[in-house]
Chain A
Amino acid sequence: MIFDNANIFDGERFYNGSFAFNERFEAQEDGGKLNLDGLWVLPGLIDTHAHLRDPGQTKREDLLSGTQSAVHGGITTVFAMPNTNPAIDNETMVLYVKEKAKYAKANVKIVGAITKGREGKELTEMHRMARAGVVGFSDDGNFLTDAFLARHAMEYAYELDLPIISHCQDKDLGTGHMREGWYSTLYGIYAMPDVAESIAVSREIELSYLTKAHVHIAHVSTARSVKLIRQAKKDGIKITCDVCIHHLVFTDKDLNDYDTSKKINPPFPTAEDQIALYEGLEDGTIDAIITDHAPYTSEEKEVEFQSAPFGIIGFETLLNEILIVSQRGVKTELLLKKVTSDPAKLYKLNEGRIEKGLPANFVIFDPNQKWNVSRNTILSKSSNTPFLNKNLNGKVIATYVNGRQVYGNVESLEKRVLHLA
């Protein structure tokens, strides 16, 4: 089957064309043609920061529901963070999750913990986890405060040619439930200053300089962090970073309704910081966009704002949010690159582009169709999203992994078969 007349984004730019595939994208031969007029075809999206909650927290999500949710959002590769219960902090755990993920809808890549139990006390067996195939190391929500341990973890990561993914947050300053500023004063919410992040970022830059390790800063959210990372890159230090899609859409002001589905760590940026994030994307300081998909049950979230856990689901609204950000003036191609070819390059993944020979991971997306985000339409087990019961522009029609349709309505696609050879 040839998919024809589509608006194809190949990982760099849009063009109108056709493509063919089996397990991989292939040369076009004669055959049936499916007219995708008006639809976008994108490489399967790559989300390099997500919480699948499996094992141990499967009330919130599991590998199957999480990846169903991912493919509903057009995401075909997901990085699972190790803050599970127990933590993914040894080779056996990595192999166990990998085995279980064979039945998942999307590709699951595993990030191993830096310290045992993510407690910041003892290094994990990083060589063995690397042997089992982890794509990086992270203590995820816990910033490794012990700089001595962090240094040695980076030294191992350097040997293994894998990145350390760092959630940068000073332990003492980084308390509170939103970004400190006028709105935290107005809303009466205990808050953390922006430098709680950038102080930790600067330590990681210095340690990366010392150890030569690739340190990847997760979900930067402040102008000062972007500035430090921009300079570190200029200085030739091996620092990369990503930004969470929600931080490109929402600001601290939006917490006026105390919706616990808007509570996230790091917290929503100020409007000024958000502009710095857009600039960071545009000048290449920020390497990727992630969802930080963090499911919580409604029981956990339906509590007072300051008692609620941090986290928002993100898989299923990623493309919708990209459209929102593009309407504010950031180029659509740039935003799409940051969830396809750029993270692929960053983590040396052989995907993220529509190109002959690569695995046929792709999404068919209708930018003009609306969908209603509701408990009935979300495929995640959790529904902690600020978009709940709202209509969003743009809808994933179908998602393919290795040439196999993993999400989508086949009939609606076949109606589009206009001409057969």
Chain B
Amino acid sequence: MSIFGMDLFDVDDLTLNDVLLIFETAQRFKEAGFAKKWTSLKGKTICTLFFESSTRTRISFEIAAKRLGADVVNFTASTSSLNKGESFKDTVKTLDAMGIDLYVIRHTEPGSPMMLKKYTKALVINAGDGIRAHPTQAILDAYTIWERFGKIEGLKIAIVGDILHSRVARSNAKLLTMLGADVTFVGPNALMPMGAEQYGIRLSNDIEDAVNDADVIMGLRMQLERQTTGFFSSLDEYNEFYGITPKTMSFAKENSIFMHPGPMNRGVEVIDSVSDSDASTVEEQVTNGVFVRMALLYLINFKNEVI
């Protein structure tokens, strides 16, 4: 099996072999380094279609696509296209009429990549749809873990924070359990989505218990506006009971790592002495993001040719 010619809506579109192929391909791109330019996607036009603000994901995709020789156009709408009077459908149809080969879409609405697919024959990669899925973030997270530990199976991984509003947590729960990890969601119940144990993971309100003997501690961005909407009382209290501190890390395994999809709220979900420590893989995740996205773009456009 290969992922040639397929759309990526979420990680469960992939098989175990697909994921390993992406890992190996990303590793080869990484070994070749940033300086190496490729021509695989020469003549292809890739459109980043961002209905929700983002810098790192959009830039990461843009760098990945350009490194493979593609032409990249960026469409950004500050708010939902609806508010501008033009429907999502018309926006897509307009762009599609200009000959796009592949869309990378980020949207506040769950299901929007599938909706996009209704209006286009081009390939679609989901770069985050509402609180539903963020498959490329999950793949690059898994790649980072795989690279560090040489395996994922059997690792103990705690994902900590605002799970309810996190597409990263959702895609990671699917992918990491598929790869055989032992995953726990940690956070206050008010920020835990209903029925999440059905991912085949554990849920915990006790961060010290959950990170006990963990290999990976993954923080999530707390969206600060939640404070005024009744999800928790103060950032200060939240940090005291759910923030990731050196003390938290001390319960984890000795060679454990701290991950974060970014952007971080320093002093809220994590404090500097953790995020800037040697255990932190935050910048490595960003670097790996480019190579993983190169691997994806490459494999989606080409049959199993080894680079």
Contacts and interface: CB of A to CB of B under 8 A. Distances in A.
Interface of A: 180-191, 193, 257-258, 299, 302-307
Given A188-B129, A302-B89, A307-B82, A182 B110 contact: no
A287 to B, nearest CB: 31
B175 to A, nearest CB: 14
A264 B170 CA distance: 25
B88 A185 contact: no
Contact of B195 (A181, A188, A189, A190): A181
Contact-residue bracket for chain B: 20 to 34
A303 B111 contact: no
Contacts of A180: 194
B15 to A, nearest CB: 19
A187 B194 CA distance: 12
A306 B82 CA distance: 12
B110 A188 contact: yes
Contacts of B88: 303-304
A182 B201 CA distance: 13
A187 B114 contact: no
Nearest to B110: A188
B131 interface: yes
11 contacts: A186-B198, A189-B110, A191-B194, A299-B87, A303-B82, A303-B87, A304-B80, A304-B88, A306-B109, A307-B80, A307-B109
B107 interface: yes
Contacts of B154: none
Interface in B38-86: 80, 82
Contacts of A186: 170, 198
Contacts of A185: 170, 193-196, 198
B267 interface: no
A180 B192 CA distance: 12
Given A182-B195, A185-B170, A188-B129, A258 B87 contact: no
The 6 tightest CB contacts between A and B, nearest first, are A188-B132, A182-B195, A258-B111, A304-B109, A188-B110, A185-B193
Given A189-B111, A302-B87, 19 more contacts: A181-B194, A181-B195, A184-B194, A185-B195, A185-B198, A186-B170, A186-B198, A187-B110, A188-B129, A188-B130, A188-B133, A189-B110, A191-B194, A258-B111, A303-B82, A304-B82, A305-B109, A306-B130, A307-B82
Nearest to A185: B193
Contacts of B129: 188
Contact of A188 (B87, B167, B198): B167
A389 to B, nearest CB: 13
Interface string B92-111: 00000000000000010111
Contacts of A183: 195
A257 B114 contact: yes
Contacts of B130: 188-189, 306
Interface string B180-201: 0000000000000111101000
A189 B110 CA distance: 6
Given A188-B129, A188-B131, A304 B195 contact: no
B285 interface: no
Contacts of A193: 194
